[in-house]
């Protein structure tokens, strides 16, 4: 059986649970907004990268 190649999908979740405010990562300081990525946003990003190979049932586990 052929082994599937692992794919790394870059999803940036700024300030999600981090107590620090580093200048390179603090989106509140950089953009002035507090946005929290919800599940729909993350799944939509995965669909964009993976296209027809994306399986939301597998990804949400």
Q: Per the domain annotation, does 7 fall within a domain? A: no
Residue of 3 and 57 predicted with greater confidence: 3
Q: Per the domain annotation, does 32 fall within a domain? A: yes
Q: Per the domain annotation, does 21 fall within a domain? A: yes
Whole-structure pTM value: 0.45
Q: Per the domain annotation, does 17 fall within a domain? A: yes
Q: Per the domain annotation, does 51 fall within a domain? A: yes
- Determine the structural domain holding residue 40 and report its residue range: 13-56
| Whole-number pLDDT of residue 61 | 44
Task: State CA 21 to chain mean position distance.
Answer: 19
pLDDT of 54 higher than 50: yes
DSSP string, 1-46: -PPPPP-------TTSS-----TTT-HHHHHS------HHHHHHHH
Q: Per the domain annotation, does 33 fall within a domain? A: yes
pLDDT of 58 higher than 60: no
Give the number of domains in the chain.
1
pLDDT tens digit sequence for 1-50: 677 777 777 766 666 777 787 877 777 777 787 777 788 888 888 888 78
Q: Per the domain annotation, does 2 fall within a domain? A: no
């Amino acid at each position: 059986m052929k082994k599937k190649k692992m794919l790394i999908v870059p999803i940036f979740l700024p300030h999600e649970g981090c107590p620090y405010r580093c200048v390179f990562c603090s989106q509140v300081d950089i953009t002035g907004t507090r946005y929290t990525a919800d599940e729909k946003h993350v799944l939509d990003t995965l669909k964009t990268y993976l296209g027809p190979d994306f399986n939301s049932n597998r990804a949400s586990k």
